[in-house]
C-alpha cells in the first residue's frame, strides 16, 4: 500500500511558497500579511493557530493573531473584520472556527472581503468554485487535490465517493473532483448520514474520501481492492488521534491511503500559505 505522505508534500509546497514570497516581497516592497481572529480558548484551535504562526514564519509571511476572550460579542468580531478588510498590509483574513456558541459564524464569514478570504469560505468564492472560475479555494479540499496530484494519482474517469457533506470539506471537494480538467474529471457520489447501505457504495469507489469526523468507521472490508483512500477526518480518542478509517485494516486492501495524523492535516496549512500569497499577488499586482 502506498502511503500518502502529507508531511513530505506539504514541506515541498512550503519551500516553493517561501521562494514565491521572496520574489513577491522584492516586487511590492513588503511581505504578504495574514491575520487570524481567534475567539475563546478552544484547545485544538489554539494549537492549530500556533502551527499556522510557525508555518508563516517559515515561509516569510507576516502573521498577526487577534486573540479575543470567549465573551467577545459578534459586533466586536465584525468590527475587527472590517478593520482588517481596510488594511493594505493584510492580504488574508482567517476566522478560526468554531466560534463561541453565542456567535453566528455565517455573517462573520460573509463580512470578510472575498479577495482576502484565504479560507475560501465566502459565498463569492464558493460560487466561483462551483462555476469553475478562478478564486480562493477552501484549503482542505485544495490540499487533498494537491496531495493526489503530487502522488501521481489521477481520479479522471474513475468513480470517486465523498463521505461527508460539510461546507468546509465534503461539498467543495465533490465539486473539485468533478471539475472538467485533467487532475479531476471523476464521476462523483456524495454520501452523508442518510445514505442507505454506505458500505456497498464505498466498495464501488476507486477513490474514497472520508470527511465525517467519526473515528475508525470505514474498515478494509468496505473497500474495493486497490482503492485510494484519503482520510480527512480527525478525532481525539482514548488511543490518540484517529481518522475516519480503521487504518490498520486498510493495509491489505487499499492501493494507497493517507494516515492520520500526517496525511491531509499538513496540506491544509500549506494551502493556506499558498492562498495568502495568491491573494497578495492578485491585490498588489492586479492580476
Is 24 inside a domain boundary?
no
Q: Give the distance, in angstroms, between the CA of residue 83 and the centroid of all CA atoms in the same chain.
A: 25
- Identify whether 278 is a catalytic site residue: no
Annotated catalytic residue, options 91, 113, 117, 119: 119
Q: Are residues 86 and 199 in the same domain?
A: no
Q: Are residues 143 and 106 in the same domain?
A: no
Determine which helix (DSSP H) or strand (DSSP E) holds 54, and give its type and residue range.
helix 43-59
Instruction: Give the model's pLDDT for residue 43.
Output: 82
245-252 CB contacts, 8 Å cutoff, 24+ apart: 245/210, 245/216, 245/217, 245/218, 245/219, 246/216, 246/217, 246/218, 246/219, 246/220, 247/216, 249/219, 249/220, 249/221, 250/1, 250/219, 250/220, 250/223, 251/1, 251/220, 252/1, 252/220
Q: Are residues 57 and 108 in the same domain?
A: yes
- What φ, ψ does residue 98 adopt, rounded to 5°? -80, 155
Contact status, residue 78 vs residue 103, Cβ threshold 8 Å: no
Q: Are residues 201 and 244 in the same domain?
A: yes
Residues near 105 by beta carbon (within 8 Å), at least 6 away in sequence: 95, 97, 98, 99
Q: Are residues 242 and 148 in the same domain?
A: yes
Question: Domain span at residue 169?
Answer: 139-264
Is 14 inside a domain boundary?
no
Is 18 inside a domain boundary?
no
- Identify whether 183 is a catalytic site residue: no
Q: Are residues 149 and 69 in the same domain?
A: no
Instruction: Give the model's pLDDT for residue 287.
Output: 52
Q: Point out the domain boundary residue: 98, 114, 130.
A: 114
Q: Are residues 164 and 240 in the same domain?
A: yes
Is 274 inside a domain boundary?
no
> What CATH number does the domain containing 181 carry?
3.40.50.720
Is 122 inside a domain boundary?
no
Is 228 inside a domain boundary?
yes
Annotated catalytic residue, options 31, 91, 96, 113: 96
Neighbours of 68 (CB within 10 A): 17
User: Strand locations in 70-165, DSSP E?
Assistant: 92-95, 159-163
Q: Are residues 257 and 169 in the same domain?
A: yes
- Identify whether 238 is a catalytic site residue: no
Is 172 inside a domain boundary?
yes
> Which residue bears the cell 487570524?
36
Instruction: Give the model's pLDDT for residue 45.
Output: 87
Contact status, residue 250 vs residue 223, Cβ threshold 8 Å: yes
| Domain count of the fold of the chain | 2
Annotated catalytic residue, options 31, 52, 116, 224: 52
How confident is the chain (287 residues) per 10-residue block, as mean pLDDT?
A: 96 98 97 97 87 96 97 97 98 95 96 98 97 96 98 98 96 98 96 95 98 95 97 90 94 96 95 98 84
Instruction: Give the model's pLDDT for residue 51.
Output: 92
Q: Are residues 104 and 214 in the same domain?
A: no
Is 273 inside a domain boundary?
no
Could you say which DSSP state residue 204 is in? T
Amino acid at each position: 500500500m502506498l502511503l500518502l505522505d502529507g508531511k513530505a508534500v506539504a514541506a515541498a509546497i512550503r519551500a516553493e511558497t517561501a521562494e514565491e514570497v521572496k520574489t513577491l516581497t522584492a516586487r511590492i516592497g513588503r511581505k504578504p500579511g495574514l491575520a487570524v481572529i481567534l475567539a475563546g480558548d478552544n484547545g485544538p484551535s489554539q494549537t492549530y493557530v500556533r502551527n499556522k504562526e510557525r508555518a508563516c514564519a517559515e515561509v516569510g509571511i507576516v502573521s498577526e493573531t487577534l486573540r479575543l476572550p470567549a465573551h467577545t460579542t459578534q459586533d466586536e468580531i465584525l468590527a475587527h473584520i472590517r478593520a482588517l478588510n481596510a488594511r493594505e498590509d493584510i492580504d488574508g483574513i482567517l476566522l478560526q472556527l468554531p466560534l463561541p456558541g453565542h456567535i453566528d459564524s455565517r455573517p462573520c464569514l460573509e463580512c470578510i472581503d472575498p479577495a482576502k478570504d484565504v479560507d475560501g469560505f465566502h459565498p463569492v468564492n464558493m460560487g466561483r468554485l462551483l462555476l469553475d472560475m478562478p478564486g480562493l479555494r477552501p484549503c482542505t479540499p485544495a490540499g487533498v487535490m494537491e496531495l493526489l496530484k503530487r502522488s501521481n494519482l489521477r481520479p479522471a474517469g474513475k468513480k470517486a465517493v465523498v463521505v461527508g457533506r460539510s461546507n468546509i470539506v465534503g461539498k467543495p471537494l465533490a465539486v473539485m473532483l468533478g471539475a472538467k480538467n485533467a487532475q479531476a474529471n471523476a464521476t462523483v457520489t456524495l454520501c452523508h448520514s442518510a445514505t442507505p447501505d454506505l458500505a456497498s457504495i464505498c466498495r464501488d469507489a476507486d477513490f474514497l474520501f472520508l470527511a465525517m469526523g467519526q473515528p475508525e468507521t470505514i474498515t478494509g472490508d468496505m473497500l474495493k481492492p486497490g482503492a485510494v483512500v484519503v482520510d480527512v477526518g480527525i478525532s481525539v480518542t482514548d488511543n490518540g488521534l484517529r481518522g475516519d478509517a480503521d487504518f490498520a485494516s486498510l493495509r491489505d486492501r487499499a492501493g494507497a491511503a493517507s494516515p492520520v495524523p500526517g496525511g491531509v492535516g499538513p496540506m491544509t496549512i500549506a494551502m493556506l500559505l499558498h492562498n495568502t500569497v495568491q491573494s497578495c499577488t492578485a491585490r498588489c499586482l492586479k492580476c
